[in-house]
Structure 1
Amino acid sequence: MSDSNPPPVPEARRSFIRKMMALAGGLFGSAALQRAARAEPIGASQNPVVESGKKGYRETEHVRAYYDAARF
């Protein structure tokens, strides 16, 4: 009984895997660059909503309830 298929050469298999990994890395890298190129700059799309006259810390009923629960 002779083996008609010779065993695969390990170096050829490793070379194939290296080529596939390089191809996959290139595809993922190009997809990331395309997404970054299409993204809008930060703050260009919408202005933050600012309440008129009120800025900073506000002690609401929810915050007061937390402070009451946290007291010893």
Structure 2
Amino acid sequence: MRAYIPELEHKGAASWGYTEKEALENLENAVDLLVAHLLEIGEGIPTDPPSQIQVSDVPLVAIAI
């Protein structure tokens, strides 16, 4: 399962897990790390709430070249 926040996915607000619960827990950790990183580099933290958290069970393929 893949969980992500569409508005913040390009900054790293995405994760996965074998179950929806695990994917959401991993996403929470990813968002915590993202916020810490943004604070560390002095970049603003988005204040608008995301439209929604997306969860998908569609397999994704990543290819590294």
Q: TM-score range by the shorter chain?
A: 0.3 to 0.5
CA radius of gyration, larger in? 1
TM-score (norm 2): 0.36
